[in-house]
Amino acid sequence: MRVHADTPTRSFRLEIEGAGIFDEWTIAEVSRDLRDFSGRFTFSLRDATRSTATFDWASPPPLFRLRPGPAVKVFVDGVLELSGWIETVTPVVEADYAEVTISGRDKAGDLIDCACAPHGPGEFTDIKLEDAVRRIADPFGVTVRTEIDTGAPIARYPLGVAETALSAIEKYARQKHALVLSDGTGGIVLTRTGATRAPDDLTLPGNMRSSSCVFSHAGRHSETIVHGQPEKARRARDGRASPLIAGDAPVAPGARASGDGAATDRERRGIAHKGVAIDPEITRHRPKVHLSKAQPDDVSADDEADWRMRTARAESEELLTTVRGYGAGGRPWRVNQLAFVDDAFQGIARNMVIARTDKSYDEDGRLTALTLNSPEAFDKAPVAGRRTNVQRGRKAGSGSGGGNRSGPLDGTARAL
């Protein structure tokens, strides 16, 4: 639980539509997470001086009169961090203080809990992933940019009547192995892991104030299987037309010739697809089966299985640390940055990707909590040595040290 600071910070500035600029807060937190999609913010101001014997007729400041709904821009150290909406306002008055708490999400947050196409269309046809995402996001005022090649167009892209916008995007993005994230300022990005470098290395001893790791096999599986079924065989049939024509009576069951099973086999190849991904680190029998929400082919079914396997691994292995301030060298800490981690306590010495940032201010001062994962957890590039430590003092990817290990590192530390 965060505790109010004695002195308000001006590191966080809110520009609220129709209300003005507010830059004094005794508690502040801005969070971004690769897995949560939308960024979040929470700000509180406790004003003890206003709760006096004369509070009954004292006029509360404009901040206390705010209500949900206005657009807001959140700046951290003068840099735009989030652009979104105020969703909750909680003013409180007690005998010895007055307090107001404001929270909300960035603009992409509406895609999480709102319908993608309440009035149609029911599907897109022959459409690239980025174009489909753009058509889904456009009514919400959210832009889309792509930093990757998303491959061939999708033949049929169905949209459920009650399906949320994010669900409609993710079900095909996972088949393309695309990382879909909000940029925090009103846009969606289709990208891959580690698009940019972090502003600094993370070292312990060094700039890391703490270090904790979570290792779990609870959500991981030896074999991840994805089954999918398109509505038709497309080009997998042999092209032969049905012998019946309009008006013909169907052949009686007893008069039908026995088949050799070839037709059934042709149909199965056309409409039933299976993808499989193996997690070599799970050695006991732990299979998991998923039914695809999209209409995959064999390649996309394999990609979805691989995506699910790697995502489960990311959620079960992560490093958490805290650093002072909100950036380094004039550059902020951001999600999807690649940072070299040299943590002597955990036995880690390699590149990791920042999966979550929590920038906060309270009685402990200006802090950024970082959650890091192995970079291969969010893409489909070969694992190779990306889960292996390098020689101490030598950054991953430099020279021939990318696959070397040294020091008393156990298997758990190397696997992160």
On the question of pLDDT at 401 being above 50, the answer is no
What is the amino acid identity at position 285? H
Same domain, 198 and 186: no
pLDDT of 115-172, one tens digit each? 999 998 989 999 999 999 999 999 999 999 999 899 889 888 999 889 999 999 998 8
Of residues 275 and 28, more confidence is placed in 28
pLDDT of 345-393, one tens digit each? 999 999 999 999 999 999 999 999 999 998 877 777 777 777 788 876 5
Quote the pLDDT of residue 222: 95
Q: How far apart are CA 51 and CA 186, in angstroms?
A: 38
Same domain, 392 and 293: yes
Backbone angles phi, psi at 373, to 5 degrees: -130, 170
With beta carbons less than 8 A apart as the criterion, state whether 306 and 277 touch.
Answer: yes
Q: Which of 73, 105, 137 is the last residue of a domain?
A: 105
Instruction: State the CATH number of the domain containing residue 163.
Output: 3.55.50.10
Q: How far apart are CA 279 and CA 18, in angstroms?
A: 53
Crossing angle (nearest 10°) for helices 129-137 and 165-173: 170
Quote the pLDDT of residue 246: 63
Say how many domains are in the chain.
3
Same domain, 36 and 170: no
297 band by pLDDT with thresholds 50, 70 and 90: low
Same domain, 68 and 93: yes
The answer to the question of residue 95 being in a domain is yes
pLDDT of 85-120, one tens digit each? 999 999 988 877 788 999 999 999 999 999 999 998
Same domain, 155 and 224: no
Same domain, 81 and 214: no
The answer to the question of residue 248 being in a domain is no
Same domain, 414 and 346: yes
Quote the pLDDT of residue 399: 36
The answer to the question of residue 240 being in a domain is no
pLDDT of 38-53, one tens digit each? 999 999 988 755 544 4
Same domain, 330 and 302: yes
The answer to the question of residue 144 being in a domain is yes
Same domain, 214 and 362: yes
**Helices first, then strands: H and E counts in the chain:** 6, 24
Helix (H) or strand (E) holding 43: strand 40-47
85 is in which domain, residue-wise? 12-105
The answer to the question of residue 251 being in a domain is no
**Strand positions, DSSP E, 229-347:** 273-278, 287-291, 317-324, 327-328, 331-332, 337-343
Same domain, 86 and 227: no
Quote the pLDDT of residue 405: 33
Same domain, 416 and 330: yes
Q: Which of 191, 219, 251 is the last residue of a domain?
A: 191
Q: Token pair of 226, please?
A: 């994805």
Quote the pLDDT of residue 404: 34
Q: Which of 137, 156, 191 is the last residue of a domain?
A: 191
The answer to the question of residue 7 being in a domain is no
Same domain, 154 and 205: no
The answer to the question of residue 266 being in a domain is no
The answer to the question of residue 239 being in a domain is no
